[in-house]
Amino acid sequence: MTIYTPTYSSFPIPSTNLYTQLFRDHDKFDTASPAFIDNASGVTLTRKDVKDMTLSLAFGMRRVLGAKRGDVVMVFSPNSLSWPVVAFSIFAAGLCMTPANTAYTPSELAHQLKDSGAYYIFVHPALLPVVVETLTHLGASPAEIKKRVVIMALKREVEAPTAEVDAGGWIQLEALLNKGSLEREEPFDGAQAEETVTLCYSSGTTGLSKGVMTMHRNLNSQILATCLSFPLYAKKDAVIGVLPFYHIYGLALLVLFPFSVGVPLVICPRFDLALFCSGIQKYKITAALVVPPIMLALINSPIPLKYDLSSLRIIMSGGAPLAKALGINLDKRLQSMGAKADIIQGYGLTETSPGVTMLRAEQAMSKMGSVGELAPNMVVRLVDDDGVDAKPGEPGELWVRGANVMKGYLNNPTATADAITPDGWFKTGDIAIRDDDGCFAIVDRKKELIKYKAFQVPPADLEAVLLMHPEVGDVGVIGIESEDRTTELPRAYIVPKSGYSSLPTQGEREKFALEIQKWIEGKVARHKYLRGGVVVIEAIPKSAAGKILRRQLRDLAKEEVRL
Ligand code: 4UV
C-alpha cells in the first residue's frame, strides 16, 4: 500500500473544546484591536467585545433559552457581525451548530432542520419568513415558533430592528446578552474534543445532503494546520470575508482561523464586487479567500480598476477547480494595477473540515493550477476502482486519513460506512494526480456531486423534486461544463410520464424542457436551477440494481447540443 505523507511535521491536536482553542492566545493579542469589521457600515467588534459577548450569549443560550449541552442550534443568516459571535457562543456553551445555506427554500431548510434535530434557530431578520413557513409546514404552532426563533442582529449592526420583527415579539439576540457570563457561572470541563461541534450539510459522494459530524478536535486541527500552510500574522494581516460562513470553507478559514491568530476579518454580507474592492482598499486587506467565479470577476470587470488593491499579498481559491489560465490572468491584471499577490489554491471537503491540500505561496507561479501539498496530520492514498494503488504519477481516487476527517454522517451509519473504510480512509470521490514534488492536481470527479460555482448541487436533491412534477416519469441529473468553462451547470435528462413518443417533434420536446426548467425555479435554491438545460430522452440508463449510470448521461452530454 502506498501512503503519501505530508512534508510538514505532525503536531499533537489539543484535546480541548473549540472555544478554548479559539481563545487560547486571546490575552497575547491586543484585546482592543478589531476582530470583526462590517465592511459596509464600518461597525467593529474588538477582540474584547467578542470574548465578552461570546461568554454572555453562551450563558443566555444555556440559562435564558434553556439549551442543554449537545443541543443542536441552527444558524440561518448571511455573513454578519453577529455570525461569529453566535457561532463562538454555541461552541462555548457546549452546543452544536448547524449552519444552513441562506438560499434554501422552506422545503430544503425543513430537511436540514428535521435531520439535524435543531430546536433553536438563529435567523437574520430578512430570512424570518422562510423560517416561519418552514416551521409552520412542519406543524409547529405560532407559540412554538416564537419559542424556537431568535432574531440574529446586534443593536450596533442594525439601525433598528424592522418594525415587523419588533412588533412580532420575537426573541432578540440582545435579549440573551448581559444576563450573566458562562465563564463565571459554569467553568468549561475541556472534555469535548470528540464531541460533534458543527453539522454542515454535504451530499458526499451520493444521495441527499447529510449532516457532517465535525468534532471539536477536527476544527482544532484545521486551525493549527492552517497556521503552517497559510500563515497569517497579527498586526500585519487583514482578511476579507466574502465567502458564505455557513459553508465549511468560510467557516473554517474566515470565521475561525483569522480570529484564532489575532487577525481582523472584514465581513461582506454577500458578493458585491465594488464593496469587495473598496473593503480591500479601505482596510488594507492582505489576504483574500475566494472561489474561481470571484477571480473571474476581478479579471473581467472594470470595477477593480477604480481601487487600490496593492495591499493584497495572497489570494486563495478553493471549492472548485482553478484553471491555470485563470490564475495567470488574475496575476497579470493585478500587476497591471500595480498590485502583486501570490495566487494559491486549496482543496478540501466538508467531510475533511475542510483542508486536505494547500499550495505554498512560494510555489504560486511555478505550480499554478495545482492544489499543492498535503496538509499536516493527514495522509492520502490514490486508488483505482478496486481500491488498488494507482501507479506513481497516474490518476486515482484520493482517499484521506487523519486529524481532519469527520466522525461520520449524522444518523446515517450506512452512508458513513460507504464513505470511510474500517481502517479510517475517507473516500473523497475526487480523482487526483501527484507530481514528483508531492503536489496534487484534481483532475476529475468520480462522485455524482455537481458544483455550481463552488456550491454543492446534489443530483439526488433535484431528481427528487423533479419526480414530483406530474409529467415527469423518470429523471437523471448530471453537471455539464459551462460554455466559458468556468463552472458546472446542472442538467436534467427526463423521460416524460406519457413516454418519449408522446412528444414526437423536437419543438414539443423543447417546449416541455423549458416548462420543466421554469417549474423548478422557486422550488429549489437558486444555485440548483437547471442552467445546463433539460433534455428529453427515451430512457434513463440504469444498472441492473437500478442505479443511474451517470457516466452514460455524461457521454450523451458530450454529443448533444445544449438546449
Ligand atoms: O464539501 P465541499 O462543498 O467543500 C469545499 C471545500 C473547499 C475548500 C476550499 C479551500 C480550502 O483550503 C479547503 O480546505 C477547502 O468546497 O465540496 C467538496 C468538493 O469540492 C471540490 C471537490 O470535488 C470536493 O470533493 N473541490 C473543492 N476544492 C477544490 C475542488 C479544488 N481546489 N479543486 C477542485 N475541486
pLDDT, averaged across the chain: 95
C-alpha 93 – ligand 1 centre gap (Å): 30
For the record, the C-alpha cell of 229 comes out as 500552510
Provide mean pLDDT across the span 321-344: 97
Measure the CA–CA gap between 365 and 346, rounded to whole angstroms: 15
Encode burial over 381-397: b for 16+ CB neighbours within 10 A, e otherwise: bbbeeeeeebeeeebbb
- Residue keyed to cell 409547529: 140
Span of 40-49, 157-166, 341-350, 535-544 with lowest mean pLDDT: 157-166
Binding site membership of 371 for ligand 1 (Cβ less than 6 Å): yes
391 near 412, Cβ under 8 Å? no
C-alpha cell read off for 437: 514534488
Grid cell in block for residue 440: 496534487
Whether the link from the prior residue into 354 is cis, omega within 30° of 0, is yes
CB 319 less than 6 A from any atom of ligand 1 = yes
Query: How confident is the model over 147-156, as a mean pLDDT?
Result: 93
Per-residue model confidence (pLDDT) at position 335: 97
Q: Look at ligand 1, atom 30, and give the residue with the nearest C-alpha.
A: 320
pTM of the model: 0.96
Q: Is the CB of 447 under 6 A from ligand 1?
A: no
Name which of 531, 386, 368, 513 is nearest 455 in CA terms: 531
539 phi and psi angles, rounded to 5 deg: -155, 145
Q: Which pLDDT belongs to residue 164?
A: 55
CA distance 417 to 404: 17
In terms of DSSP bridges, do strands 96-99 and 120-123 run parallel, antiparallel, or are they unpaired?
Answer: unpaired
Largest CA distance in the chain: 74
Q: What residue owns the CA closest to ligand 1's atom 20?
A: 319
Single-letter amino acid code for the residue at 418 = D
- Report the separation in Å between the CA atom of 190 and the middle of ligand 1, taken as the mean of its atom positions: 31
Cβ(355) to ligand 1 under 6 A? yes
Residue 344 contacts residue 297 (beta carbons within 8 Å): no
Percent of the chain clearing pLDDT 70 (strictly above): 96
Question: Does residue 485 carry a pLDDT above 90?
Answer: no
pLDDT in tens, 285-331: 999 999 999 999 999 999 999 999 999 999 999 999 999 999 999 99
Residue located nearest, by CA, to atom 34 of ligand 1:
321
As a whole number of Å, the end-to-end CA separation of the chain is: 46
Q: How high is the pLDDT of residue 527?
A: 98
Q: Is the CB of 292 under 6 A from ligand 1?
A: no
Q: Closest by alpha carbon to 144, among 166, 171, 123? A: 171
Using CA atoms, how far residue 103 sits from 35, 77, 271, in Å, is 27, 10, 14
CA 77 – ligand 1 centroid, Å: 22
Nearest alpha carbon, ligand 1 atom 16: 319
Average pLDDT score over residue span 65-70: 93
Q: How far is the CA of 319 from the centre of ligand 1 (A)?
A: 4
Q: Residue 171 carries which side chain, given as an amino acid letter?
A: I
CB of residue 536 inside a 6 A radius of ligand 1: no
* Per-residue pLDDT tens over the stretch 8-57: 999 999 988 999 999 999 999 999 999 999 999 999 999 999 999 999 99
Ligand 1 neighbourhood includes 249 CB (under 6 angstroms): yes
Which atom of ligand 1 is the closest one to the Cα of 455?
3
How many residues comprise the chain? 563
Q: pLDDT tens digit string along 158-216? A: 765 555 566 688 999 999 999 988 875 444 554 479 999 999 999 999 999 999 999 99
Residue in 249, 374, 488 to alter for ligand 1 test, most ligand atoms within 8 A of Cβ = 249
Q: How far, in Å, is the centroid of ligand 1 from the Cα of 435?
A: 19
Task: Report the distance separating Cα 429 and Cα 285, nearest Å.
Answer: 35
| Angle at alpha carbon of residue 230, lines to 375 and 238, rounded to 5° | 155
Ligand 1 atom at minimal distance to the Cα of residue 317: 10
Ligand 1 in reach of 202 Cβ (< 6 A): yes
φ, ψ dihedrals at 352, nearest 5°? -120, 25
Q: Does ligand 1 have an atom closer than 6 angstroms to the CB of 354?
A: yes
Q: How far apart are CA 463 and CA 455, in angstroms?
A: 17
Pick from 198, 147, 200, 197: which is nearest to 171 by CA? 147
Q: Are 186 and 435 in contact (CB under 8 A)?
A: no
Find how far residue 200's CA is from the centre of its chain: 8
Grid-cell match 419526480, residue found: 467
Cβ of 427 less than 6 Å from ligand 1: no
Q: Quick one: pLDDT at residue 185?
A: 44
Q: Which three cell numbers stand for residue 313?
A: 499579498
How many of the other CB atoms lie within 10 Å of CB of 80? Answer: 21
Residue whose CA lies nearest to ligand 1 atom number 17: 349
ipTM of this complex prediction, to 2 decimal places: 0.99
Mutation choice for ligand 1 from 222, 290, 349, 451, CB with most ligand atoms inside 8 A: 349
**Residue 74 falls in which region: left (phi positive, over 0), alpha (psi -120 to 50) or beta:** beta
Over residues 364-383, mean pLDDT: 97
Q: How far away, in angstroms, is 452 Cα from ligand 1 center? A: 12
442 bridge partner residues: 432
What is the C-alpha separation between 487 and 477, in angstroms, rounded? Answer: 16
The pLDDT tens digits for 223-268 are 999 999 999 999 999 999 999 999 999 999 999 999 999 999 999 9
Check pocket membership of 358 for ligand 1, CB cut-off 6 A.
yes
Q: Residues 6 or more apart from 206 whose CB is under 8 A from it?
A: 418, 447, 448, 460
Residue bearing the CA closest to ligand 1, atom 19: 349
Pocket flag, ligand 1, residue 214 (CB < 6 Å): no
What dihedral angle (degrees, nearest 10) is formed by the CA atoms of 70, 71, 76, 81?
-60
Tell me the best of 347, 481, 486 to mutate to test the pocket of ligand 1, counting ligand atoms within 8 Å of each CB and taking the most.
347
Mean pLDDT confidence for 130-158 = 94
Give the distance (Å) from ligand 1 centre to CA of residue 348.
Answer: 4
- The rounded Å distance from CA 370 to ligand 1 centre is 13
DSSP conformational letter for 164? H
Quote the ligand 1 centre to 296 CA distance (angstroms).
Answer: 18
- Cα 270 versus chain centre, distance: 14
**Dihedral Cα 101, 103, 105, 106, nearest 10 deg:** 50
Q: Is 321 in the pocket of ligand 1 (CB under 6 A)?
A: yes
Q: CA 273 to CA 280: how far, in whole Å?
A: 11
C-alpha of residue 201 to centroid of ligand 1, in Å: 14
Q: Report whether pLDDT(563) > 60.
A: no
* Ligand 1 nearest-atom number relative to CA 354: 14
Q: Which amino acid is at 163?
A: A
